[in-house]
Amino acid sequence: MSDSKVEHGEHGNGQDELAAVLPENVSWTSPHLFKLNFCVISLILFSSTVGYDGSLVNGLEALDRWLEFMDNPSSTWLGFVNAIYWLGAMVSNLAAGSVTTRYGAKISIWMGIFFLTVGTIVQTVAPNDKAFIVARFLVGMALGWFTNGAPVLINEISYPSHRGIASALYMCGYYVGAIVSAWATFATRTYDDSWCWRLPSLLQLLCPLLAIPGLLLTPASPRWLISVGRIEEARQALANLHTQGDAQAPLITYEVNDIQATIAAEKEAQESSGYAEMLKTPGNRHRLFISITLGIYSQWVGNGVVSYYLAMVLDTIGITQTRDQLLISACLQIWNLIFAVVGASLVDKLGRRILFSASAGIMLTSYIIITGLSGSFARTGSGPVGTAVIPFLFIYFAGYDIALTPMLTAYPCEIWPFRLRSRGLTVTWAAAILGIFFNTFINPIALAAIGWKYYIVFVAVLLSYAIVTFMWYPETRGYSLEHMAVIFDGDGAAVATTQQTMKTVTDAILNEEEKKDGMGKAEETEHA
């Protein structure tokens, strides 16, 4: 199971056929891809909201004025203040999967912008702690819409040979938001009034607002357009993004025909695209297992303690000054962004499985050391021992960043077929949000009650993460989005056959050659 080898039969992985129609020497910097890459980068910025919130809460917990405004929350109440954001995210996440499938991904993103705007305004002008909590619920509602629509759209508009990296980069935007939040909070820490926390609250609109121009330029998903019968719109959208508007290019002909054939095969093979369909076949049950466990591990490998309660963690090792805590948090976000981008850039070079295994090894080793050092500090109170925890926190997050950050949305998006893609991503986020909701509510209680000993729980979870990803997470490198199903469904995969796609490739190339020959003859006639 660990290598997930299947007999491809007539299906193949789609790469040979795709390679035959891809223009040569196309890179990320190719001029005709400028608009596409601008759209992709803009969509990535929508993931900044979740990173902004985690970093914001960490920073606010170190500000005396915010603690006074919130009536000094601690333990259970502090957990609720954090968890209400994720309750809002869960509510919208459950709706977003169906909306994205039926009406397209862009609708979900615009819904997220609406809730984020309203929530941010309420949070910034909140007259009391109750209004602040309502605002956090509304901002959380935005997350559910963003994290379903944006990654699906990135997967479905990306240039074929860049799709893996583009999709993996989505969650890297998490740390863009975290960096803005951490440094904004650090900069306003000395303000003498409530703007020390109101201004950072307002700035959570910054990155999504910067993303709106790119969203306006982004077309509806070509796969969604084809699924609702708008074939020519999809053809032109792909042409505008991939071939400078040439709708007759071999690449566009291949993409449109392959998407059409695969969607038709999916519809013929399945009666519905509801959540119950995820349990009907062994391949779908395998995908469902991955989607659930990946969501859980993304929040249950110990990162939840540091992400929302870094100030409490630093307190346990003797680092109690507000300036020091905010500075460590701000530097950690920059570190995280660097390694998340490194991990995303390696998904097609090293493959998903190698990154998952390296991630598990790095996190497990560093977390064991963090646990040991924290326990030693608790017994001895030695300053150097407490300080020694900090570099291992950074090493731990490097391990998290190279796999769990880029793969959280990219992996579910690519393993599910089109008709279940947004719902599969919904399941992953539902599992993640349940894990976060539990963690944000329980972590402060456990940290207050048993301190560093709570870390032992996450050492055990990290062991299971290493085993599960090695045994049951297949390698998807080298498969096109339309042909990914062969990994899970084998010969029963609902994809276009190699014969179909090769005929498409041959016809497209012949048409292109005939067009060039015709142009050549016309030029000869004109010259004569």
What CA dihedral angle connects 227, 233, 237 and 238, to 10 degrees?
60
Which of the two residues, 211 and 492, has the higher pLDDT score? 211
The answer, yes or no, to whether residue 16 has pLDDT greater than 80, is no
pLDDT value for 526: 54
Mean pLDDT of the chain: 85
What count of other Cβ atoms lies within 10 Å of the Cβ of residue 213?
A: 12
Residue 143 has pLDDT above 80, yes or no: yes
CA neighbor of 181 nearest in space, from 167, 165, 156, 200: 200
Assign 6 a pLDDT band (cuts: 50, 70, 90): very low
Q: Is the model's pLDDT at 190 over the cut of 50?
A: yes
Mean pLDDT value of segment 79-108: 89
SS3 497: coil
For residue 75, the model assigns a pLDDT of 64
The CA–CA distances, whole Å, from 465 to 35, 282, 468, 488, 493 equal: 39, 22, 5, 21, 28
| pLDDT surpassing 80 at residue 34 | yes
Q: What percent of the chain has pLDDT over 70?
A: 85
Q: Which pLDDT belongs to residue 520?
A: 52
Rg over CA atoms, the chain: 24
User: What's the pLDDT tens digit per position in 256-303?
Assistant: 998 998 888 877 766 566 788 899 899 999 999 999 999 999 989 988
SS (H, E, C) 271-320: CCCCHHHHHCCHHHHHHHHHHHHHHHHHHHCCHHHHHHHHHHHHHHCCCC
Average pLDDT (460-473) is 95
Tokens standing for residue 317 = 């090792």
pTM for this predicted structure: 0.85
- pLDDT at position 307 is 53
Answer whether residue 341 shows pLDDT above 90. Answer: yes
Where are the strands (E) in 203-327, listed by range? Answer: none
pLDDT (tens digit per residue) in 416-465: 998 899 999 999 999 998 888 777 667 767 777 777 677 888 889 999 99
pLDDT bucket at 521, cuts 50 / 70 / 90: low
How many Å apart are CA 167 and CA 481, to the nearest integer? 11
* Confidence label for 502 from pLDDT (cuts 50, 70 and 90): low
In whole angstroms, give the CA distance from residue 509 to residue 145. Answer: 40
Domain boundaries, the chain: 42-218+278-501
pLDDT given at position 461 = 93
In this prediction, residue 159 has a pLDDT band, given cuts at 50, 70 and 90, of very high
- Does the pLDDT of residue 3 top 50, yes or no? no
Q: 175, 340 in Cβ contact below 8 A?
A: yes
Categorize the per-residue pLDDT at 318 as very low, low, confident or very high, splitting at 50, 70 and 90: confident
Average pLDDT for residues 203-211, to the nearest whole number?
95
Tell me the per-residue pLDDT of 216-260, one tens digit each, with 9 for 90 and over: 999 999 999 999 999 999 999 999 999 988 999 999 999 999 899
Q: Are 208 and 48 in contact (CB under 8 A)?
A: yes
Given a contact cutoff of 8 angstroms between Cβ atoms, the answer to whether 301 and 363 are in contact is yes
pLDDT at 121 over 90: yes
pLDDT value at position 178? 87
Let me know: does 40 contact 157? Beta carbons within 8 Å: yes
CA distance 327 to 335: 12
Any idea which architecture 42-218+278-501 has in CATH? Up-down Bundle (1.20)
- Confidence tier at 515 by pLDDT (50, 70, 90): low
Q: Is 491 helix (H, G, I), strand (E, B) or coil?
A: helix
* pLDDT for 508 beyond 70: no
Predicted confidence at residue 399, as pLDDT, reads 96
